Amino acid sequence: MCAMRTIPGISAEKLEKMASVDVRTVDISTLTDLRDIEIDTKAPVSKKLEAFAAQTDNVYVNRIGDYVVKVRYQKTGPTIDEKMEEYIRRLAEVYI
């Protein structure tokens, strides 16, 4: 997993602790539901990360309803939009 370098107000040690949470044993009731987080999509990436971090207790592990979600961050590579497009194309190939 790629760790974030820094987020203002969060120490490197705290980021490492957040990243080490095991999704198989975490208490889902302690996690933030991603559907409740609001981000200004026009803001720069650094501001989006700050807004996200301010609205969750763990920038790596959250939930969507009854599902635990763990993310990783990377500086380079495909965007989330590109990965979603790739995923949808793969689904379409399965059903064609």
pLDDT in tens, 44-67: 888 888 899 999 999 999 999 999
Phi, psi of 31, rounded to the nearest 5 degrees:
-95, 150
pLDDT at 82 over 90: no
Rounded distance, CA 1 to CA 47, Å?
22
Record the pTM. Answer: 0.69
* Count of alpha carbons within 13 angstroms of residue 68, beta-carbon side: 15
Give the CA distances from residue 33 to residues 18, 61, 91, in Å, rounded to whole numbers and listed in that order: 16, 10, 26
14-32: per-residue pLDDT in tens?
Answer: 999 999 999 999 999 999 9
